[in-house]
Structure 1
């Protein structure tokens, strides 16, 4: 049997986990969800969800993964609770579901890097998006992005994922900081900051049923929870590492990158339009692409450079997150069946490419896939994991959390939070999401 891989360094694990979290969820979805759900009102709920709900949950997934030392599906069998294998199986399915359309958006990003350099979208950003987001071109670039993802995963944990994310994550932060400094100089920055940082609690009260599911779902999505990714990554971690310290750092870094992305995108929009543009406020998976492209188009030659840099950092973020989703099923197949890592990575990528062609052919499919993931699949998967950790495996989970941390009191506080407000928060999110699912657009048959 092939010896199971591990992270070469603790920093490698942290950056890989941050890379999993810091993806399109932060740079594509977070600004878009903020813009369409009340700005600062959404930000407040998201921050509460990330630290009060997301942080305890990520520790729960870490405890499962490190204790089991195996992939997310077989972890529950190794922990002697085979009936709960459904947790890992649903997480694996959810991650693959998301990756199938996530890769399509990754293909858009590739296209927009080229469109920035050539000024291809400067004439009519909306028409440009319509021309590249669906059809054969979108399918081809979807294939390219999926192949890039599979190529990184095929190299393994240390030589592929760890080395890639050690380069990717610092690059994302450095480039975003530079873009945020540039956005600060724009004329509309003050209005953007007001929208982004001044909560309208009346709006929040009147739209609670929409804001809460999206904000909590965004926390799950951006922290890669409920997808098996964190269980899988933690299975490569040594027992001497402090899970609370690592989990806290990952949560802080991930959240900071999402907030930083807002400081880049929103000033761009307000500088161009003087207010939140209709293309962003109206919704749709391409809203951010159209709005941001419009802002870059108005900057002329400078817009070419700024646009290319912005979409390049989005590409890096997209890849760092996509590899974690593909690693979940790759790890399972390698552990369970002893199959070749490259063969599994490219084989699964091929299947996901076929599923993703629906979203590449028609963005209505992509919106439907995304809504179902946010409002049902992610909260349902997270809920099962919370129940398992809090009520089935609590003593062992506490022992795992306290190992390597020298915080004997922390485990009791953590498990109490899992059993009470975290559980209630996830249940409420799932119920609100299921209730609002009836407003989903019809399938584009």
Structure 2
């Protein structure tokens, strides 16, 4: 087996972890999750979830990763609890599952970046038709492959030379460019209406049955929890790093990027259409079709804005995809003598093949109807509402109730926080995190069952 790599600097780990968290889930998904779930009400619930559930859960994964110095699958065995290996295997499977459709969306981002630079969807009826022309079929497969190739290229270079160097460039670029676009968006007419929708909570708009599970799922997704990424990244950490301090910085930066994305998206949308209704937004292409229409409505300035926005989106998507690909890569490297370059190519190829159905057609096997539920939305809902909560729950139960005393030792190592913090954190892990996840699971499964009933008609009518 090859010698295990490490981060060269603490900043490298923080930016890599932020890069894992700051991806399509923040910039592509977050504003539209907020849009269809009450705007500011969703934002408020999301922030509470990040504080009470997300940050404690992130520290759980840091503890497992740094203590074991192993990939998620082998981590539990290394800690002396081989019967819990299933929890790590679940996180690795989820990373593989999510990356398979995430890469398809990454291909769309590349197409929209090219389309923005060339003006391909500006003018006439092209805005409405462009998404359908690029979202499925041979072109979508080709750009799905290109996105995976970019991800593989970075991971193949290694932890310090590839992931760390790339994220040190990517993450600051995302933040700087988003701030610039947000400042420009503030000058648009009707931007105030967008801010009101996004920043003025109306708790009467909260539909608890949908907002809470999506807010928890969004928190897990945007913090890269339940996918093995944070376990993997923490396994490359040194002993002197403060896990609570690093986790707090990562959670704050991740949340700020999500909020920044909303400060770009909502002023643009409300400038484009002061009466826009996002409550019924559904389907995986909503962000692309709605935003591209808004950008096209801004004239020549819209082309520049769109180009910068989709460039930011591409950087963010790559910074997340490399973390998910590293989960699979690290498992093989920890258990074989293969070279990293060969392993990353093999893992990327497997992910590409698994994602082909989503790239070949949004209505694969007829799974699409007027409700806007499509193959990618179905993949996404399974990840958000079922797999991620189950994965985080399993690791939380292990750390809180099985590994408790050793977990306290690990959370204190390299940290200047008092005993009160570690003990409070452990009880949050034991009680608050599982309670929040279980409540979310019940609501999330109900949502999946409703969607399954909607999809049952097309499936049974197939053929």
Sort the TM-score into its range (normalised by shorter chain): over 0.9
Question: Which residues in structure 2 correspond to 1:421-440 (within 5 Å)?
Answer: 421-440=432-451
The residue that corresponds to 2:111 in the other structure is 111
Whole-Å Cα distance in 1 between the matches of residues 70 and 318 of structure 2? 24
Whole-Å Cα distance in 1 between the matches of residues 356 and 286 of structure 2? 20
Deviation at 1:228, TM superposition (A): 0.4
Deviation at 1:277, TM superposition (A): 4.5
**Alignment check: 8 A CA contact 2:141 2:360 kept:** yes
The residue that corresponds to 1:341 in the other structure is 340
Deviation at 1:430, TM superposition (A): 1.2
RMSD over equivalenced CA pairs, Å? 1.2
Instruction: Provide, for residues 128-177 of structure 1, a one-character-per-residue CA deviation record: whole Å limited to 9, x for no partner.
Output: 11111111111110000011001100000000000000000000000000
Gaps of 5+ in 1: none
Question: Which residues in structure 2 correspond to 1:209-220 (within 5 Å)?
Answer: 209-220=209-220
Instruction: Provide, for residues 78-105 of structure 1, a one-character-per-residue CA deviation record: whole Å limited to 9, x for no partner.
Output: 0000011111100000111000000011
Question: Which residues in structure 2 correspond to 1:25-424 (within 5 Å)?
Answer: 25-123=25-123, 124-204=126-206, 207-277=207-277, 281-363=280-362, 364-409=374-419, 410-424=421-435
Instruction: Provide, for residues 177-230 of structure 1, a one-character-per-residue CA deviation record: whole Å limited to 9, x for no partner.
Output: 0000011111121000110011111121xx101000000000000000000000
Gaps of 5+ in 2: 363-373
Whole-Å Cα distance in 1 between the matches of residues 281 and 222 of structure 2? 23
Whole-Å Cα distance in 1 between the matches of residues 407 and 197 of structure 2? 41
**Alignment check: 8 A CA contact 1:210 1:436 kept:** yes
Whole-Å Cα distance in 2 between the matches of residues 347 and 236 of structure 1? 22
Structure 1 length-normalised TM: 0.97
Structure 2 length-normalised TM: 0.94
The residue that corresponds to 2:368 in the other structure is none
Whole-Å Cα distance in 2 between the matches of residues 102 and 201 of structure 1? 32
How many residues of Structure 1 are paired with residues of Structure 2 in the alignment?
442
Deviation at 1:433, TM superposition (A): 0.6
Deviation at 1:365, TM superposition (A): 1.5
Whole-Å Cα distance in 1 between the matches of residues 395 and 52 of structure 2? 16
